[in-house]
Amino acid sequence: MFSALGYPIVHSNVVIFFLTVIQFYSWVVLARVILTWFPNIPRDNPIVEFIHQITDPVLVPLRQMLPPMGPVDFSPLVLLIGLHVLRMMVASMSAGV
């Protein structure tokens, strides 16, 4: 069986798991953006360190690919848009989700 976009229909529990992981990662990226508004929070805080450790592997290459836009970093926005597109693609793989 295939979805309307031509993807094979996947068991909904697997789809729900991936959608949950994508949503969690989106929230972590958003938390990283919010952390930039509070420069007094030390970088060695365990929560801040965790957020940087799991977002840097994706954000650093994105930063290198994007042209410099002055002091504004658009890499989190590009990542969030990409995660949203990925989420829509994964959701379309299941007829029930």
Contact 76, 59 (CB under 8 A): yes
| DSSP-derived 3-state class of residue 87 | helix
Q: What is the pLDDT of residues 77-89, one digit of tens each?
A: 999 999 999 999 8
Tokens linked to 52? 């940087």
Q: Work out the pLDDT band at 16, boundaries 50, 70, 90.
A: confident
pLDDT at 97: 44
Q: What is the pTM of this model?
A: 0.81
Is pLDDT of 24 > 50?
Answer: yes
Residue in the block written with tokens 């989106």? 26
Q: Which of 83, 97, 89 shows the shortest CA–CA distance to 11?
A: 97
